[in-house]
Amino acid sequence: MKKLKAVIFDVDGTLANTERDGHLVAFNKTFTNFNLNWHWSNELYGELLRVTGGKERILHYIEKHQPEFELPEGEELSSWIAKMHADKTKCYTDIVATGATPLRTGVKRLIEEIRNANIRMAIATTTSPENVTSLISSTLPEGAEKWFEVIAAGNMVKTKKPAPDVYQLALEKMELSSSECIALEDSNNGLRSAQAAGITTVITDNEYTRGENFTNAALVLDSMGEPDQPVTVLAGETYGEEYLTVDLLEKVLQNS
């Protein structure tokens, strides 16, 4: 029988609606700071999210949506994007520190349950480590960063999601095999990354990812839920549970 030893969390879109309420707002603020007349709407951002990573997303936007764009005098594209991205990270952490990105329904409860069950926790994310730290410190008790044994981030690996690198890094650092873990994700890119690392994945979707291909997920829910806020099951089996619990995660793993 497979035993659940660790839960690996994605961050953006899974722990909180950081894409809509954090990253998108920060990108637009940076465009203003850089005197650009660019503005990403919520709809356009939904499309741009298919490209993971902030720097990669800006480059894709220039190539696809601003073909006439000319770099400021004396600038080189990748270093200019890196400068913009550093500004965006500063904007993002400032926004998150105001409490604009609360945890999604059920996240805090599930984290507490996992801790009480002595199951290990890690993070596998595309975003920058300082963004993860700012989200944890604005939403969880002091010292909560240490609850996550590993924070594997996009800038620590060769290839970002949907490549498996960031999950493989988390597994390697925890010295666990993929069959001992569950990944919690919100997007097709995240699912493909965890799957390629061999990890059983539970999806909680959101407004940007609803309708994406989650065929290979073990379970697809609309949130992690609470006792008084039961989940809607979009695919898979919840074995009679009305919200995501450690028991349910264990059953999902055993049946995967």
* Interaction site with ligand XBP (CB under 6 A): 10-13, 19, 23, 52-54, 125-128, 131, 154, 161, 187, 189-190
Q: Is 222 a catalytic residue?
A: no
Instruction: Pick what 22 binds: Mg ion, ligand XBP, none; C-beta below 5 to 8 Å, kind-dependent.
Output: none
Counting Cα atoms < 13 Å in the Cβ hemisphere of 55 gives 15
Binding mask 187-206 for Mg ion (x = CB under 5 A): x--x----------------
Binds Mg ion by CB under 5 A, chosen from 7, 8, 9, 10: 10
105 pairs with which residues across the strands?
none
Q: Verify whether residue 94 is a known catalytic residue.
A: no
Q: Which stretch binds Mg ion (CB under 5 A): 6-14, 26-34, 52-60, 194-202?
A: 6-14
Q: 16: which 2 tokens?
A: 């909180």
Of the candidates 12, 165, 186, 205, the residue annotated as catalytic is 12
Q: Name the burial class of residue 190, with classes exposed (0-12), middle (13-18) and buried (19+) by CB atoms within 10 angstroms of its CB.
A: buried
- Regarding beta strands 181-185 and 120-124, do their DSSP bridges make them parallel or antiparallel, or are they unpaired? unpaired
Residue 186 engages Mg ion in binding (rule: CB under 5 A): yes
Residue 212 touches Mg ion, criterion: CB under 5 A: no
Task: Tell me which of Mg ion, ligand XBP, none is bound by residue 131, counting a contact when its beta carbon lies within the kind-specific cut-off of 5 to 8 angstroms.
Answer: ligand XBP
Q: Identify the residue among 8, 9, 12, 111 touching Mg ion (CB under 5 A).
A: 12
Binder of residue 28, out of ligand XBP, Mg ion, none (CB less than 5 to 8 A by kind):
none
User: CA-CA distance, 9 to 198, in Å (whole number)?
Assistant: 15
Q: How far is the CB of 73 from ligand XBP (least distance, A)?
A: 26
User: Side-chain half-sphere of 106: how many Cα atoms within 13 Å?
Assistant: 19
Q: What share of the chain is helix, strand, coil (3-state, %, to 5)?
A: 45, 15, 40
Question: Can residue 13 be called a binding residue for Mg ion (CB under 5 A)?
Answer: yes
Q: Which residue is nearest to ligand XBP (CB)?
A: 54
Beta-sheet pairing, 148-152 with 233-236: unpaired
Q: Is 93 left (phi over 0), alpha (psi -120 to 50) or beta?
A: alpha
With respect to ligand XBP, which residue has the nearer C-beta, 54 or 106? 54
Taking a C-beta distance cutoff of 8 angstroms, is the pair 58, 23 a contact? no
Q: Which positions are catalytic?
A: 10, 12
Q: Which residues of the shown chain bind Mg ion in the complex (CB under 5 A)?
A: 10, 12-13, 186-187, 190
